[in-house]
């Protein structure tokens, strides 16, 4: 059974101006690697420092979840796909781990299935707060796919200012 | 990731340097807990001034220490001025239960004022 939530992510309509796929083993030392790669990939658009930090944080949450919940520290690969649009980025983090039984419950603030590990249960809430749209698809025994969309509002503001200066 | 300790009376100041994510969290937790069991520790200040990144793993660490320190009626405070980390502290509700200061000196002064009473 394919569990889906009612998130509305996916820019879809437009053609990306650039794209990138990264596949790496589910090792915790790759958490920083993944967020550095995502941040430098979107840097070509020149987003604000805050927007860069938002994306770094959300990627860190999604990749950490794949490692500790999806694969539960066992071996496996994580795929990160970045689609860059002229005003936004869509980042998808995919694992082929154990999957999520109840997505709605998992997304709730403070919910964690690993309180013994001192997890805060705030990962999905962080992704939702720091990104504009978050979609979670998961199938028990098959894996999880988290798709996050971030609009770079700072670019719009820059454009507007440039126009006003004329 | 580096963890440095200093003491002001019964306050343990924990200075975190680098990026606090899940990868760093085991090491950080072990270091802090080793220092916390010393009988001289009653209160804790987390100095995040030299932290360039933190995600919800850091929230878990701070909340865990908060629970332990509360059990011995101690105080806990955080020093932080990084916008991304402040946003995280606010959205997680930490700022509702733990006082946040712009730097460690202010946190120490406030805590000494409180604990002297
Ligand atoms: N990739 C994943 N695979 C399996 N389960 C997941 C995955 N991501 C999240 N979960 C589940 O959702 C819960 C909530 O995740 P999150 O909000 O990040 O909190 P935390 O990681 O602190 O537990 C996790 O405890 C876990 O049960
Ligand atoms: Mg998480």
Contact A125 B23 (CB under 8 A): no
Please give the average per-residue pLDDT across A96-116, as a whole number. 96
Whether residue B66 is contained in a domain is answered as yes
Whether residue B28 is contained in a domain is answered as yes
Whether residue B76 is contained in a domain is answered as yes
Whether residue A6 is contained in a domain is answered as no
For the CA of A146, the nearest atom of ligand 1: 1
Examine the pLDDT at A27 and tell me if it is beyond 70. Answer: yes
Examine the pLDDT at B117 and tell me if it is beyond 70. Answer: no
Please give the tally of structural domains in chain B: 1
Domain that holds residue A22: 16-165
Which residues does chain B have within 8 Å of residue A67's beta carbon, measured at their own beta carbons?
22
Question: What is the DSSP secondary-structure string of A61-93?
Answer: HHHHHIIIIISTTSS-EEEEEEEE-SSEEEEEE
Whether residue A9 is contained in a domain is answered as no
Q: Which of A145-149, A157-161, B82-86, B100-104 is the least confident region?
A: A157-161
Whether residue A147 is contained in a domain is answered as yes
From the number of C-beta atoms within 10 Å of its C-beta (0-12, 13-18, 19+), residue A117 rates as middle
Please give the average per-residue pLDDT across A73-92, as a whole number. 96
Whether residue B111 is contained in a domain is answered as no
Please give the tally of structural domains in chain A: 1
Whether residue A5 is contained in a domain is answered as no
**pLDDT score recorded for residue A166:** 67
pLDDT digit string (tens) for B3-36? 999 999 999 999 999 999 999 999 999 999 999 9
Whether residue A1 is contained in a domain is answered as no
> What pTM was computed for the model?
0.93
pLDDT digit string (tens) for B39-57? 889 999 999 999 999 999 9
Please give the average per-residue pLDDT across A114-134, as a whole number. 94
Min distance A27 CA to chain B CA atoms (Å): 9
Examine the pLDDT at A163 and tell me if it is beyond 90. Answer: no
Whether residue A2 is contained in a domain is answered as no
Any idea what the CATH number is for the domain that residue B77 is in?
Answer: 3.30.750.24
**pLDDT score recorded for residue A11:** 47
Report yes or no: B55 and B62 within 8 Å, Cβ to Cβ.
no
Any idea what the CATH number is for the domain that residue A86 is in?
Answer: 3.30.565.10
Quote the CA–CA distance of A72 and A70 in Å, as a whole number: 6
Which residues does chain A have within 8 Å of residue B55's beta carbon, measured at their own beta carbons?
57, 60-61, 64, 123, 126
Q: Is A35 designated active site?
A: no
Whether residue A113 is contained in a domain is answered as yes
**pLDDT score recorded for residue B107:** 97
Whether residue B75 is contained in a domain is answered as yes
Please give the structure tokens belonging to residue B108. Answer: 């120490």
3-state SS class at B94: helix
Quote the CA–CA distance of B69 and B13 in Å, as a whole number: 13
Examine the pLDDT at A73 and tell me if it is beyond 90. Answer: no
Whether residue B37 is contained in a domain is answered as yes
**pLDDT score recorded for residue A7:** 46
Domain that holds residue B37: 2-106
Altogether, the residues listed in chain B come to a count of 117
Read off the pLDDT band of A159 (50, 70, 90).
Answer: confident
- Tally C-beta pairs within 8 A across A and B: 67
Examine the pLDDT at A8 and tell me if it is beyond 80. Answer: no
Whether residue B114 is contained in a domain is answered as no
Whether residue B47 is contained in a domain is answered as yes
Please give the average per-residue pLDDT across A28-46, as a whole number. 97
């Amino acid at each position: 059974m394919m569990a889906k939530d009612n998130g509305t992510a996916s820019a879809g309509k437009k053609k990306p101006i650039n794209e990138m796929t990264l596949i790496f083993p589910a090792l915790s030392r790759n958490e920083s690697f993944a967020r550095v790669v995502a941040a430098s990939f979107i840097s070509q658009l020149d987003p604000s420092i805050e927007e860069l930090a938002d994306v770094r944080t959300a990627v860190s949450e999604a990749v950490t979840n794949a490692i500790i919940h999806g694969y539960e520290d066992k071996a496996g690969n994580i795929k990160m796909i970045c689609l860059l649009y002229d005003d936004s980025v869509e980042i998808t983090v995919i694992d082929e781990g154990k999957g999520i039984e109840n997505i709605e419950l998992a997304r709730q603030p403070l919910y964690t299935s690993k309180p013994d590990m001192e997890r805060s249960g705030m990962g999905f809430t962080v992704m939702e707060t720091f990104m504009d749209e978050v979609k979670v698809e998961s199938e028990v025994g098959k894996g999880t796919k988290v798709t996050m969309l971030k609009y770079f509002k700072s670019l719009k503001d820059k454009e507007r200012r440039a126009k006003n200066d004329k | 990731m580096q963890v440095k300790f200093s003491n002001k009376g019964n306050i343990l100041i924990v200075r975190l340097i680098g990026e606090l994510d899940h990868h760093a969290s085991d090491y950080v937790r072990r270091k802090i807990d080793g220092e916390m069991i010393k009988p001289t520790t009653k209160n804790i200040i987390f100095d995040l001034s030299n932290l360039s990144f933190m995600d919800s793993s850091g929230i878990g660490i701070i909340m865990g220490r908060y629970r332990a320190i509360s059990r011995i009626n101690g105080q806990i405070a955080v020093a932080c001025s990084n916008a991304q980390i402040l946003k995280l502290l606010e959205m997680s509700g930490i700022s509702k239960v733990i006082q946040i200061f712009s730097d460690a000196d202010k946190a120490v002064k406030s805590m000494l004022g409180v604990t002297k009473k």
